[in-house]
Amino acid sequence: MTLSTRSMALTALFAALTALGAFLAIPIGPVSITLQTLFVLLAGILFGARLGALSQLIYIALGLFGLPVFSGFTGGLSSVFKPSFGFLIGFIVAAYLVGFLAEKYLYPPAKPDSLQNPSKGSIFFFKILLIAFAGIFFIYLLGIPYMYFILHQVMHTEITFCGAVKAGCLVFLPGDILKALLASLLGMKILPKIKQR
């Protein structure tokens, strides 16, 4: 696809924001708590499937090329063998899915003055929120089995799949719900302005 200068700048911006989100990490086990999910969701909500996914693809490519942009200031091809890498793959899929659903159900967004109407504004917000939850679901759907495989088959850690679900989902779910809410609030405010342009 042909990208305009503006599109290239936006994808680069959200790749950088995802990297920044990785640096703000709380290590609690094989996968750290970060702000990355927020920027993954916003990339899809604001810029659609292709640009949203491209921003995450650029981010992961930079990390695999050796730049320390992954959680814990790490990078390189060896990151593929880390338990958290499946969640990074999930970022690409989630950004694409969120963008696809946003293009289908949110574009063109409600008119700015209609968002002032509490009823219509609430409907718009809950549409975004459901789309954000779908994105989070797909991050887990790819990330948890990958984490289990690496821990169990590569690192030979004694862990059950239920244990992997607990370590890779249940611990993160409250924070991810908050990130989905924040992404939805920001999307509700920003998306109409972007589409007006």
pLDDT value at residue 192 = 81
pLDDT at 119: 44
Q: Name the 3-class secondary structure at 20.
A: helix
**pLDDT beneath 50: ranges in the chain:** 112-119
CA torsion, points 140, 142, 146, 148, in degrees to nearest 10?
40
Instruction: Give CA–CA dist 32/48, Å, rounded.
Output: 27
Q: Which pLDDT value is given to residue 115? A: 45
Rounded distance, CA 36 to CA 51, Å?
A: 16
Residue 70: the pLDDT is: 94
CATH class of 5-196: mainly alpha
Distances (CA, A) of 152 to 90, 165, 180: 20, 13, 30
The pLDDT score that the predictor gives to residue 196 is: 66
pTM: 0.90
Q: Render pLDDT for 62-107 as a digit per residue (tens, 0 to 9).
A: 999 999 999 888 999 999 999 999 999 999 999 999 999 999 998 8
